[in-house]
Chain A
């Protein structure tokens, strides 16, 4: 097929394929080596591994030093996503109505946490919560993660809302629905894809967040990224690779669900429009 094309188009296609190949190696190399090293039989990190076994996977799966933080991360992610959605969805509805004054300013304010380094937010929150003795209580983690994930939910829901036909709600009013009924039976169901996708994003971002988690967690509330980082800081062994593999598999499962349910490209491209 390519041989039949005139030279320039074939050359361009070949060049693009070559580039994607090199980019794929760059993107996947650090992930691939982690996955491979997770199966090493050696007690130290080397590449390629001298032999293969499941000993490190078995070790981390039975190690409370990793499993406890994994559970913490899942619970924190779910809680942060839920709270962020409860706060962000009504706000998105308010902003989406052009009749609300200052809606552009409101949107800019609610999206502001996106633009600042998480470390600065974590630092500020640490000072703030320390005054109330809540710095490492677990509440701090939740509050910090809600601040960080709220803009993502807001943006995803707004993107869906802006694509909606305003006359649908008007039609509901004409048909006799009160504003409350119209919201519950028309607006909310239509926004559901955005709410679900936004909450999933919020979960994944919280699941991966490090700055807030580092400064505001204690030994009992440490999240998985914190546990991994602590482990890396003190030992350079394949356990990190093994727990990373567990986490990568978890994330891929979530990602595939997302793709299956909503189509990844729509979510991703609308997600960065304002970035």
Chain B
């Protein structure tokens, strides 16, 4: 068989998958875009977008959505980095145990984990039981941004940790040892050597967590109240409660644009780092 024929045959193997995604991924996305512009109803208009960007309510929801996602990303980075460091250094059974601890919750529905946090933060929950035992007054934190952020960090932590850990795994321990013999105590080994050399993993993890956080609506839906609204929940409500599909499509496109902007930013950072 000639190599050209082999190449053609090889490429054919990818056709079903490509066709499937073209039909059921790209196609629907284009349709949603058209819907948001009113194209499917015979008109072309940016009216839905004008409504979103002209209304302070929607702008505030957008701001809260981005702030929540950014806060969750920052917290996951701070909490996840040490875990990744310990995970990457661990060997044998300790490593398997750390990994299991990290990923086991990943496979339990977000709803269940959110329900768990509701029990923890609820009026008759774990936190208030502990406060009561200490003779302190009960708190009402369940429906707050803080509770939502804690639950989201819990959901997204594994993505951050695994991204950073896979970079740290490939880091030669001799770099830290070299820094140590040159007079760097542990915190300076970290600051000057480990942190800069694991930046790629931290950036990748942060982008991933941000994209996942900004698209999360179930946690907010279950834990929040009418004061805590985020963009994807708004999309969901427009679809199911208001049944305003074109407006939901426009909101969805705005959300998509934010996610794409973040990916673009990552690509730029990566390109600058490579240069």
Complex contact A208–B9 (CB within 8 A) = no
Contact assessment for B122 and A47 in the assembled complex, using a CB-CB cutoff below 8 Å: yes
Shortest distance between the CB of A34 and any CB in chain B (Å) = 5
CB-CB nearest in chain A for B165: A269
B8-27: contact bitstring with A at CB < 8 Å (1 yes, 0 no)? 01111110111011001101
**What B residues does A115 contact at CB under 8 A?**
211, 259, 263
A110–B15 Cα distance when bound, in Å, is: 11
Q: Does the CB pair A272–B236 fall under 8 Å?
A: no
Query: How would you classify the secondary structure of chain B's contact residues: helix, strand, loop or mixed?
Result: helix
Are B252 and A123 interface neighbours, CB within 8 A?
A: yes
Q: Is the CB of A154 within 8 A of B215?
A: no
What are the residues of chain B within 8 A of A19 when measuring CB–CB?
A: 82-83, 86
Q: Within 8 Å of chain A (Cβ to Cβ): is B232?
A: yes
Q: What residue of chain B has the Cβ atom nearest to residue A248's Cβ? A: B108
Instruction: Name A205's closest neighbour in chain B (CB-CB).
Output: B107
Contact yes or no, A47 B124, CB < 8 A: yes
Report whether B24 and A147 are in contact in the complex, using a CB–CB cutoff of 8 Å: yes
Alpha-carbon distance between A49 and B151 when the two chains are bound, in angstroms: 22
A interface majority secondary structure: helix
**CA of A229 to CA of B28 in the docked complex: distance in angstroms?**
26
Does B73 sit within 8 A of A, measured CB to CB?
Answer: no
Residue A67 interfacial (CB < 8 Å): no
Q: B29: CB under 8 A from chain A?
A: yes
A202 within 8 A of B: no
Chain B residues positioned under 8 Å from A264 (CB to CB): 96, 99-100, 103
Among residues of B, the one whose C-beta sits closest to the C-beta of A223 is B109
B107/A208 in contact, CB under 8 A? yes
Question: CA A99 – CA B263 in complex, angstroms?
Answer: 29
Query: Which residue of B is nearest A210, CB measured?
Result: B218
A20 neighbours in B (Cβ, 8 Å): 83, 86, 98
B48 interface residue (CB < 8 Å to A): no
Instruction: List CB contacts (< 8 Å) of B62-103 with chain A.
Output: 79, 82-83, 86, 95-96, 98-103
Taking CB atoms, residues of chain A closer than 8 Å to B29 are 120-121, 124
**A58 close to B (CB within 8 Å):** no
- Give B240-256 interface residues, CB cut-off 8 Å to A: 240, 245, 248-249, 252, 255-256
Residues of A with C-beta under 8 A to B100 = 255, 259, 264
Known contacts A116-B259, A255-B104; is-contact A269 B17 (Cβ 8 Å): no
Chain A residues, Cβ within 8 Å of B232: 117, 119
Query: How many Å from the CB of A66 to the closest CB on chain B?
Result: 13
* Per-position binary interface string of chain B over residues 104-116, scored 1 when its CB falls under 8 Å from any chain A CB and 0 otherwise: 1101111111111
Q: Does B125 contact A (CB under 8 A)?
A: yes
How far apart are the CA atoms of A252 and B208 in the complex, in Å? 25
Closest 6 CB pairs of A and B: A117-B215, A30-B116, A124-B28, A128-B28, A90-B13, A91-B17
- Give me 20 other A-B pairs in contact (C-beta within 8 A), A45-B118, A106-B14, A117-B255 excluded: A26-B154, A30-B154, A31-B113, A37-B119, A44-B124, A47-B122, A91-B16, A116-B215, A117-B256, A117-B259, A120-B256, A123-B235, A128-B31, A154-B17, A208-B108, A214-B236, A215-B239, A224-B109, A232-B111, A244-B116
A-B contact pairs, 20 of them (CB 8 A): A12-B186, A19-B86, A31-B105, A93-B10, A94-B10, A97-B10, A99-B7, A100-B10, A109-B18, A110-B21, A124-B32, A127-B35, A127-B249, A128-B27, A150-B21, A208-B107, A208-B108, A210-B218, A251-B108, A264-B99
Listed in ascending order, the chain B residues whose CB lies under 8 Å from chain A are 1, 3, 6-7, 9-14, 16-18, 20-21, 24-25, 27-29, 31-32, 35, 79, 82-83, 86, 95-96, 98-105, 107-120, 122, 124-126, 129, 151, 154, 157, 159, 162-163, 165-166, 169, 186, 204-205, 208, 211-212, 214-215, 217-218, 221-222, 232, 235-236, 239-240, 245, 248-249, 252, 255-256, 259, 263
